[in-house]
Structure 1
Amino acid sequence: MNWITNYVRPKINSILGRREMPDNLWIKDPETGEMVFHTDLENNQWVIPGSGYHMKISAKERLKHFFDDGAYELLENPKAPVDPLKFRDEKRYTDRLKEYRAKTGMEDAVLSALGNIEGLPIVATVQDFAFMGGSLGMAAGEAIINGFETAIAQKRPLVLFSASGGARMQEGILSLMQLARTTVAVDRLKEANLPYIVVLTNPTTGGVTASYAMLGDVHIAEPGAVIGFAGARVIEQTIREKLPEGFQRSEYLMEHGMVDMVVSRLELKQTIARLLKILLKQEGTPVEVAA
């Protein structure tokens, strides 16, 4: 025990009326090294004002900024079996789930919510990378399907924000089954003639890219997001060639026709609202494809 740090310093601070400075008061821009005030970054939707670098944002914060007046109604996620394979690596899967639930305040990696954007009622489904890398397991699959079913029942468009490292290995084949199940849910939404817009955020990889994340009517990517199936290093080792600069980044994928547009997080709400008005054949302004 450090006696000075743990006892003397707090005692002096309490006598002098000082407050402890939080450790994360300033946050460093990974690209430029610029130090940004935490509150300014939070108010700017975790987009660094100087460089435009998009940091990760929690599902709840994304929903708050995305919906009109920050008002939304969370859908209750269906229950799913916990640890069906009794999986254990360095620790038990059930212990990992408890750890991430305590850390994020979420039951699993996906939230779905009802709300309005510029007056349009929609369903938004968001993956949170902070929960086990946004990995797709049975609970996440059920939450995504529930979002689609709610959109169909209430005749609302669905906007999905993907952020995932892929399938959840602790659930094995049961995780991979969610790829097919979510794909069926996408088909049902399209059969109901309801728009489906996907926002690909950093990162969107693995089985998520191989299923619902690349089946939208429109694919929007946040700047600088890594989007792909296999990792770049695995591809290089397989084909034994050096990949192009920026391979699997949003901008590269838009240039090569894999995504429709790259849009800053700060402009997503307005862009998606205009797109939905067009897809729903409501009066609206044309959408320009951003570089």
Structure 2
Amino acid sequence: MGRLTTHELIDLVLDPGSFTSWDEPIDISHHPEPYRTELKAAAERAGTDESIVTGRATVKGRPVAVVVNEFRFLAGSIGQAAAQRIVAAVRRATAERLPVLATTASGGTRMQEGTPAFVTMVDISRALMDHKAAGLPYLVYLRHPTTGGVFASWGSLGHITIAEPGALIGFLGPKVYELLNGVPFPPNVQTSDNLAHRGIIDAVVLPEELPSIVDTALSLLVDPVTNPQRHRRTEPVSRHRDTWTSVELTRRPDRVGVREVLRYGSDATIRLQGTEKGERDSAMIVAIARLDGVPCVVVGQDRTTQTRIKPMGPAALREARRGIRLANELQLPLVSVIDTPGAELSPQAEEGAIAGEIARCISQMSTIQVPSVSVLLGQGCGGGALALLPAARVIATENAWLSPLPPEGASAIVHGDIDHAEELAVAQRISAFDLHELGTVHRLIPERDEDTPETLAHAVAAEVAGQLRELT
């Protein structure tokens, strides 16, 4: 795999001529002579004076701080001087309120400097956590290879983390593993593609795609709210369908879902994948989006991927909690979209802490520090639906509903059959109109007879954006 140099990456992603170095000259005089010789040879080979280059630049006119790892300098290893550069750049970016764009390519800690270099992982991580605590974005692009202490510190702390296709990415270098254990490391485990599949990183992106991805990410994380382009529906909402008809309507395969809300209602979207902890459940969509001009984090239950065979499991709720945490960290509004026939009920779900994940979602949603809107879009079944309900504003499409169990399940408990589901749906007051009368839902979105998924998605996005503008 051909490696882009530091200068090639700078030319590829940053506005031409915008990069200004923050790096001070490095004193190597205190190192032993053999190591000084290595450093001089590395600098000549790499065209940089260390394995790290930092500075300030712009991307489509937006200022950013940049940290670039140069692999040709002693395999991109991080010694004390390189670590100090990263820490100084991140601290300066925090002081100047700049997002940080970092890209890695490293074998890890520099062995020539041993433990003193190794412990600098802590300093780098501390600086980045302070940066994130200030509500500032941190974006990471992992290149081939990224291993050891780099992957275990600043390579794994991004709000958004993407990687080069086919890149070797892992904690333990495969050559080291083979020497220590006498057998090769299993193939295809430490690859960017596998990590994306496992929900450890968000996406695999070609270097040529980086300018567009970085531009979109910064537009969502940095650019201000823009004027609305979609119209809120202001007509009065009256009940013209009975509760059971609404239930059946929300179960139709052509019903609007969170995918349509993002496709038609968002001006720009970046999907995030997984929990960052080796889990991924397609039942939950987490994205940073601009709904009708308002940047926000969207956490939504995807109706198209939930089936009886593969319902929404605990990992989906852990993905949702990642989105809630991101909204707090990035100081972006949170939008949660409820549309589920119910969470997984199985031995595996119990062992995966499904009840605890519902509880933790409710508690995090209830205590979030940013403006929040919850959208009851279609089916709202059980604890899995309630997990995303708490918000400063709760809105609902007029045919949406929320119940402790599917009406058929409630009928089975109360009557021992499923024949009384329609009757119980009314008695339990599950409809959006009932919820509005009870004060659980603050605003109903009218649904028109001529609605398509696209038109209703536009209406939902317009209402969400309107509510967020009022809250902020």
Given the two structures, how large is their TM-score scaled by the length of structure 2? 0.46
Task: Give 1:71 shift.
Answer: 2.8
What residue is the counterpart of 1:213 in the other structure?
155
CA distance in 2, matches of 1:119, 1:62: 17
Partner amino acid, structure 2, of 1:105: G
Aligned counterpart in structure 2 of residue 115 of structure 1, from 40, 57, 70? 57
RCO higher in structure (CA 8 A, sep ≥6): 1
Task: Give 1:240 shift.
Answer: 8.2
What residue is the counterpart of 2:37 in the other structure?
95
Task: Give 1:243 shift.
Answer: 5.5
1:125 aligns with 2:67: yes
| Greater mean alpha carbon deviation, residues 262-271 or residues 276-285 | 276-285
SS of aligned partner of 2:125: helix
SS of aligned partner of 1:230: coil
1:287 aligns with 2:267: no
Partner amino acid, structure 2, of 1:261: A
After superposition, the Cα gap between the structure-2 partners of 1:241 and 1:76, relative to the gap in structure 1 and judged at 3 Å, is: closer
After superposition, the Cα gap between the structure-2 partners of 1:149 and 1:258, relative to the gap in structure 1 and judged at 3 Å, is: same
What residue is the counterpart of 1:267 in the other structure?
209
CA distance in 1, matches of 2:94, 2:72: 29
What residue is the counterpart of 2:191 in the other structure?
249
> Could you report, residue by residue, the CA deviation over 1:256-285 in whole angstroms, capped at 9, with x for unpaired residues?
111111111111121122122223364561
What residue is the counterpart of 2:4 in the other structure?
57
Task: Give 1:69 shift.
Answer: 2.4
Structure 1 contact 196–218 (Cα < 8 Å) conserved: yes
> Could you report, residue by residue, the CA deviation over 1:38-63 in whole angstroms, capped at 9, with x for unpaired residues?
xxxxxxxxxxxxxxxx5111112211
CA distance in 2, matches of 1:60, 1:100: 16
After superposition, the CA RMSD in angstroms is 2.3
What residue is the counterpart of 2:115 in the other structure?
173
Considering only CA atoms, is the larger Rg found in Structure 1 or Structure 2?
2
> Could you report, residue by residue, the CA deviation over 1:135-161 in whole angstroms, capped at 9, with x for unpaired residues?
000111011112101211211100100
Task: Give 1:169 shift.
Answer: 0.8
SS of aligned partner of 2:270: coil
Task: Give 1:105 shift.
Answer: 2.9
CA distance in 1, matches of 2:30, 2:168: 29
What residue is the counterpart of 1:71 in the other structure?
18
1:230 aligns with 2:172: yes
After superposition, the Cα gap between the structure-2 partners of 1:243 and 1:131, relative to the gap in structure 1 and judged at 3 Å, is: closer
CA distance in 1, matches of 2:23, 2:60: 24
> Could you report, residue by residue, the CA deviation over 1:105-158 in whole angstroms, capped at 9, with x for unpaired residues?
321111012111122110111010010000000111011112101211211100
Query: Structure 1: which 5+ runs fail to align?
Result: 1-53
After superposition, the Cα gap between the structure-2 partners of 1:185 and 1:289, relative to the gap in structure 1 and judged at 3 Å, is: closer
SS of aligned partner of 1:170: coil
CA distance in 2, matches of 1:172, 1:242: 26
After superposition, the Cα gap between the structure-2 partners of 1:81 and 1:138, relative to the gap in structure 1 and judged at 3 Å, is: farther
> Could you report, residue by residue, the CA deviation over 1:57-88 in whole angstroms, capped at 9, with x for unpaired residues?
1112211111112531111236466555x3x7
SS of aligned partner of 1:162: strand
Matched residues, percent identical? 31
What residue is the counterpart of 1:40 in the other structure?
none
Equivalent residues in 2 for 1:196-207, closer than 5 Å: 196-207=138-149
1:143 aligns with 2:85: yes
SS of aligned partner of 1:55: coil
After superposition, the Cα gap between the structure-2 partners of 1:101 and 1:140, relative to the gap in structure 1 and judged at 3 Å, is: same
Task: Give 1:225 shift.
Answer: 0.7
What residue is the counterpart of 1:189 in the other structure?
131
What residue is the counterpart of 2:414 in the other structure?
none
Aligned counterpart in structure 2 of residue 154 of structure 1, from 86, 93, 96? 96
Task: Give 1:192 shift.
Answer: 1.4
SS of aligned partner of 2:16: helix
Partner amino acid, structure 2, of 1:63: I
Query: Structure 2: which 5+ runs fail to align?
Result: 226-266, 274-472
CA distance in 1, matches of 2:193, 2:270: 18
Structure 2 contact 42–73 (Cα < 8 Å) conserved: yes
After superposition, the Cα gap between the structure-2 partners of 1:174 and 1:83, relative to the gap in structure 1 and judged at 3 Å, is: farther
Task: Give 1:287 shift.
Answer: 2.2
Structure 2 contact 26–49 (Cα < 8 Å) conserved: no
Partner amino acid, structure 1, of 2:101: V
| Greater mean alpha carbon deviation, residues 227-236 or residues 200-209 | 227-236
CA distance in 1, matches of 2:196, 2:29: 39
After superposition, the Cα gap between the structure-2 partners of 1:193 and 1:213, relative to the gap in structure 1 and judged at 3 Å, is: same
SS of aligned partner of 1:197: strand
CA distance in 2, matches of 1:219, 1:190: 14
After superposition, the Cα gap between the structure-2 partners of 1:151 and 1:255, relative to the gap in structure 1 and judged at 3 Å, is: same
Partner amino acid, structure 2, of 1:97: L
Structure 2 contact 76–105 (Cα < 8 Å) conserved: yes
After superposition, the Cα gap between the structure-2 partners of 1:99 and 1:78, relative to the gap in structure 1 and judged at 3 Å, is: closer
Structure 2 contact 164–204 (Cα < 8 Å) conserved: yes
Given the two structures, how large is their TM-score scaled by the length of structure 1? 0.73
